Amino acid sequence: MRRILIGFMMGLGIGLPAHAYDVEISGLSDEGLRETAKAISVSWTGRDEKDVRRAVLYQRMERDRQALTDLLASEGYYAARIDARLSKTGIIIHIEQGPRFTFGTTEIRFEDARPERFTFDFAAHGVKAGEPARAEPVNKARAALEDAIADLGYYGAAYPCRDQRADHRSNTVTLTWCVRTGPVHHVRGVTVKGSEDVKTPYVLTVATVEDGAVLTPELQTLAARRLAQSGLFKTIAVEPRVIDPATGDTELDIVLDDAHHRTVSLGARYSTSDGAGVTAAWTHRNFFGYGERLKIEATVLQLLQGLTLDFAKPAFMTRTRTLTFATGYEREDTDAFKTRRFEIGSGVEQIFNEDTTLSLGLTFETQKEQRDEGDNRLTLVTLTGGVIYDGRDHVLDPTSGVRLALTVAPSRGIIHSDGQFVRVRGSASAYQKFHLFTDHVLAGRINLGTLLGADRVNIPSDRLFYAGGGGSIRGFNYQSVGPEDDEGNPAGGRSLVEAALELRSQITTDIGIVGFVDGGAVNPTLSPFPPDEFRMGTGLGVRYKTPAGPIRLDLATPLDRRDREPLIQIYISIGQAF
């Protein structure tokens, strides 16, 4: 009789009065479930609409009946009852949750032979006997099962049955899933498509997919990641193409879209201690078609001018090795020294693992240094070995992780000097993100160095250690921390210790503020401990995020300022201080 009346009213087009209608949802004991029910209810979310006809209300009510039934089943209430009806002022929905069902038995049936290396634990994904039979752990377990089968190479696996049955006598849910694995799929050839400028042999070397390898999602992801790291492509797709379904033989199609390989970059910096300057660079990242990188860079700073050329050939003899070549001329004029130098060198960089890189290089350098006692000419050969561990999440704006670096560089004079010395430098930085009202990053850094070997006269001044300035101890003039000569100019030292601590706080999406404390010392002795004179500076900074990295503005002052030392130093550049 009620439906006849509703139909009659629908036919006449009779609506509710011109005001919001009422919705009552009752019977749910759990507050979280009650709020979710309201969120998915079209009746509830639309209750403020005016002039809604009863025909529309009835449709909304029936949609809610099904949606709430599905919601309750997803939380394990398979015997729930929902009474929904129209009232004079709106909709009334009453829910009887009934008992909450729990997981019972689980089973995986293989229509083919069970894979020997297959293991699967339902409980590890939340499907555990006696626990509430919620849909979320079932979905997680289902996805995990498909991943586990795919990881064994069964690219064409099918799942013909996924039974989920509720037993209303025991209030339990049993799961029975069927798997038809088919053959293990193996890679039988790789085809490269789409790239016009990058040579196919280089693409295959970088991707490193061996013929006959078992086809797994990890193999596809790893090949795509390696190609992405080259920076040569805008888009990368690694797509399997089954050649023979009976044997599982599959060919991989690597579909690429080339990125722009030539770039021009400009940079600028300013500080009150070492003035303003610009850098300009032209880079070709695929010079001969095999990913070779050629970079020519000009630097014009107040204290340093130079022109350098760097060339790198990746995948040299093996995918993880890069051959490097560099040459350049620089003119540096500071309070500590005045020098002109030309150098040329070559080396190799070996990727040890995802975060660790080893390097070894040989450099020839000739320079003329102006000293009070006259010009000093030196020609040196230097063997530099290094190791870098970089576990940071971002190079220019890290928020987590650790970076460690160590270089050891023995040098020997071969013309005008026969002195020998070894320069050792190590650094460590760490970053930890946390949230307190807003996002913060606590960052810390320490640098250590020592110089062993020859007398001072046989060591170029630019190989000594200096401290002070924007990349060292903020608040002090460039190279001003440490020993001084008779005229009060920086004399440099044989050892170095520097430390810095920053608190980086995000104010808006693009703007952040930084508070920092820097400290350090330069010793004339081989050991930086105990430091002869540990100087400290502190200050505040602003960061503005850009696609190229944060623009940095820092204001710093010495904590123990002396005569002739500026009260404030200003630093402007791109990227975090460390």
Q: Encode the chain (578 residues) as per-residue pLDDT tens digits.
A: 444 434 434 443 444 443 479 999 999 989 999 999 999 999 999 999 988 899 999 999 999 999 999 999 999 999 999 999 999 899 999 999 999 999 999 999 999 999 999 999 999 999 999 999 999 999 999 999 999 999 999 999 999 999 999 999 999 999 999 999 999 999 999 999 999 999 999 999 999 999 999 999 999 999 999 999 999 999 999 999 999 999 999 999 999 999 999 999 999 989 887 789 999 999 999 999 999 999 999 999 999 999 999 999 999 999 999 999 999 999 999 988 899 999 999 999 999 998 999 999 999 999 999 866 667 888 999 999 999 999 999 988 999 999 999 999 999 998 877 789 999 999 999 999 999 999 999 999 999 999 999 887 778 899 999 999 999 999 999 999 999 988 888 999 999 999 999 999 999 999 999 999 999 999 999 999 988 899 999 999 999 999 888 999 999 999 989 988 999 999 999 889 99
Could you list the beta-strand ranges (E) of 400-507.
Answer: 401-415, 420-436, 438-453, 495-506
What is the pairing mode between strands 22-26 and 511-523? unpaired
Q: Provide the 8-state DSSP code for 50.
A: S
Residues 351/388, Cβ–Cβ less than 8 Å: no
Sign of the dihedral defined by the CA atoms of residues 388, 391, 392, 394, in that order = positive
Q: What's the confidence (pLDDT) of residue 340?
A: 96
Distance of alpha carbon 76 from alpha carbon 493, whole angstroms:
72
Q: Of 576, 422, 553, 565, nearest to 481 (Cα)?
A: 565
Residues 563/576, Cβ–Cβ less than 8 Å: no
Neighbours of 510 (CB within 10 A): 12
How many helices, marked H, and strands, marked E, lie in the chain? 7, 25
Q: What are phi and psi of 228, to 5 degrees?
A: -65, -35
Give the type of residue at 313. K
Q: What's the confidence (pLDDT) of residue 415?
A: 80
Q: What's the confidence (pLDDT) of residue 287?
A: 97
Q: What's the confidence (pLDDT) of residue 9?
A: 40
Q: Of 346, 205, 202, 228, nearest to 288 (Cα)?
A: 202
Q: Of 115, 74, 88, nearest to 6 (Cα)?
A: 88
* CB burial of residue 154 (10 Å; 0-12, 13-18, 19+): buried
Edge-to-edge strands, sheet with 233-244: 186-193, 249-258, 233-244
Distance of alpha carbon 456 from alpha carbon 459, whole angstroms:
5
Give bridge partners of residue 56 from the DSSP assignment: none
Residues 369/376, Cβ–Cβ less than 8 Å: yes
What is the pairing mode between strands 186-193 and 249-258? parallel
Please compute Rg for the chain using Cα positions.
35
- Which residue do the tokens 């039979």 mark? 133
Edge-to-edge strands, sheet with 102-110: 102-110, 172-179, 162-167
Q: Provide the 8-state DSSP code for 127.
A: -
Helix (H) or strand (E) holding 28: none
- Residue 286 corresponds to which tokens in the numbers above? 């695929």
Q: What's the confidence (pLDDT) of residue 372?
A: 62
What is the pairing mode between strands 172-179 and 102-110? parallel
> Residues 63-115: pLDDT tens digits?
999 999 999 999 999 999 999 999 989 999 999 999 999 999 999 999 999 99
Q: Of 259, 182, 184, nearest to 219 (Cα)?
A: 184
- Residue 535 corresponds to which tokens in the numbers above? 């100087």
Give the type of residue at 266. L
| Angle subtended at Cα 484 by Cα 482 and Cα 490, rounded to the nearest 5 degrees | 75
* CB burial of residue 333 (10 Å; 0-12, 13-18, 19+): middle
Neighbours of 528 (CB within 10 A): 23
